Amino acid sequence: MNAAPQYWLMKIEPDECSIDDLAALPGQTVPWTGVRNYQARNFMRDGMRVGDQVLYYHSSCAEPGVAGIAEVASSAYPDATQFDAKSPYFDPKSKPEAPRWLNVDVKFRKKTRLLPLKDMREVPALATMRLLQPGSRLSITPVSPEEWQAVMALLDR
DNA sequence: GCCAACGTTGGC
DNA sequence: GCCAACGTTGGC
């Protein structure tokens, strides 16, 4: 029972938690709170396993792109911010007895060079990436082993 | 700050 | 259950 790791891409605004912020917490796990999209939630709940590898993607910033690698460090559990009236992620319709939103924990693996979105768009091997599909906005997307290998090769350049 | 694409909401 | 209105995302 030692399944091969699966691969994901997770978007974060560097203002919230950049790869440098994550790197400043070595060995610590960080709750990936604030996901408020059912598809992304379902990827965490149904797809993610501890040990899965994550492309850490900076979005909504001057240089969007992959900035590092993280690892899934827990299975999905209820996101505490949905019950916190002071949180921007507060969801008044979610009840503690039936939590609507979940999060996993992630932990830092390494910082990479920044692989810009615009470079990724030019690589045929990455054309299938969910991130690169027109209009794709999902904050968590699966990455195939082939796509993962292609990204690793680009990062080594 | 613009705006296209997409998801969610809610009236019917 | 349809679908128009609205809000959000996120690159540019």
Give the nucleotide with minimal C1' distance to the Cα of A117: C11
Confirm whether any atom of chain B, the nucleic acid strand, is less than 7 Å from CB of A38.
Answer: yes
Bridge partners of A53? A7, A71
**A140 three-state secondary structure:** strand
**Amino acid (1-letter code) at residue A45:** R
Which residues 86 to 125 of A reach strand B, CB within 7 A? 93
Nucleotides of C under 7 A from a protein CB: 8-12
A137 touches strand B (CB under 7 A): yes
Query: Residue A147 and residue A123: Cα distance in Å, rounded?
Result: 10
Task: Check whether residue A134 has its CB closer than 7 Å to nucleic acid strand B.
Answer: yes
The structure tokens 């900076």 sit at A58
* Burial class, A153, CB count within 10 angstroms (exposed 0-12 / middle 13-18 / buried 19+): exposed
Torsion sign (Cα): A153, A56, A100, A93: negative
Q: What is the pLDDT of residue A55?
A: 98
- The pLDDT of residue A4: 85
Tally of CB atoms within 10 A around A6: 19
Q: Which residue is nearest to nucleotide B4 (CA to C1')?
A: A135
Q: Domains in chain A and their CATH numbers?
A: 7-151 (3.10.590.10)
Position A157 scores a pLDDT of 80
Inter-CA distances, A119 with A29, A54, A64, A67, A135, Å: 30, 19, 10, 13, 18
pLDDT in tens, chain A (157 residues): 567 889 999 999 999 999 999 999 988 999 999 999 999 999 999 999 999 999 999 999 999 999 999 999 999 999 999 999 889 899 988 988 889 999 999 999 999 999 999 999 999 999 999 999 988 899 999 999 999 999 999 998 8
User: In angstroms, what CA-CA distances link A2 with A52, A56, A138, A148?
Assistant: 12, 24, 29, 19
Question: What pLDDT shows up at residue A2?
Answer: 63
What token pair was written down for A67? Answer: 């900035």
How many other β-carbons are positioned within 10 Å of the β-carbon of residue A91? Answer: 16
